[in-house]
Structures are given as C-alpha cells and as structure tokens.
C-alpha cells in the first residue's frame, strides 16, 4: 500500500514563507522524520512572492507550496510504505509559527478497488 499526507498550515507568522533555504530545511527535516532521503529537488520562486518546492525522495515525493500573502502553506507528502509517521506535524507548525493546521492521511490503493469516481 501507499499513503499520502496532505496538510495546510494557517496564519503562519514568520517571513520564511518566501525563503527557499528555510523551505528546503523544512523539507529535509520532514524527509528525515519519515526515514527517507532526497534523490532530487527543484523549486520555483514566484514573483513577487511565493514558492513551490518539490523533491523526489527514495520513498516517493514531497511538495511544499507557500502563499506568503495569505500566510498559508500546503504540504503534500507521498510514501510508498505503510509505515508513515505523522508525529512531526506539530513541530512543523511551530517552525512556521502557524496558529493552526489541518491534515489528512490518505490510504492509496495500489490495486483497483470498487470506489466512487470523482
């Protein structure tokens, strides 16, 4: 099986949402938490502000999208393993000085199952 974590961090209170070095540090921290390694990484700096960061990791991928003007961050993390710790979310919330976050862990079926199409 595989799992995907989606999380949004709200009311982020620091200027790091437009700092690619900080975003890379956060991504590396998350990848360490799930016991993986970064294979390749890339990013795009939007003008005037905002970042999209994506990394291919040994277990799949991570993406971080920032909206500094809205003080919001979206995190997507996909892993091809069932062992998927999510106990790092409070730490990431603190790193971003966010007031709150919402998250959802999704089981991704790797074989076709009877599901409702969207």
Catalytic residue among 65, 79, 99, 103: 65
Residue-by-residue DSSP string for 56-117: EETTEEEEEEEEGGGTEEEEEEEESSS----TTHHHHHHHTT-SEEEEEEEEE-SS------
Catalytic residue among 12, 60, 61, 79: 60
80 is catalytic: yes
Catalytic residue among 28, 33, 80, 103: 80
60 is catalytic: yes
Q: Chain centroid to CA 17: how far?
A: 13
65 is catalytic: yes
Active site residues: 60, 65, 80
């Amino acid at each position: 099986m595989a799992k995907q974590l989606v999380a949004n961090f709200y009311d982020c209170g620091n200027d790091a949402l437009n700092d690619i070095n900080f975003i890379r540090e956060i991504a590396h921290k998350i990848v360490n938490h799930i016991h993986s390694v970064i294979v390749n990484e890339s990013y795009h700096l939007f003008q005037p502000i905002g970042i999209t960061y994506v990394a291919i990791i040994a277990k799949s991928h991570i993406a971080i999208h920032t909206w500094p003007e809205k003080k919001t961050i979206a995190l997507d993390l996909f892993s091809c393993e069932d062992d998927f710790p999510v106990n790092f979310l409070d730490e990431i919330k603190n790193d971003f000085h966010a007031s709150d976050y919402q998250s959802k862990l999704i089981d991704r079926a790797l074989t076709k199952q009877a599901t409702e199409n969207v």
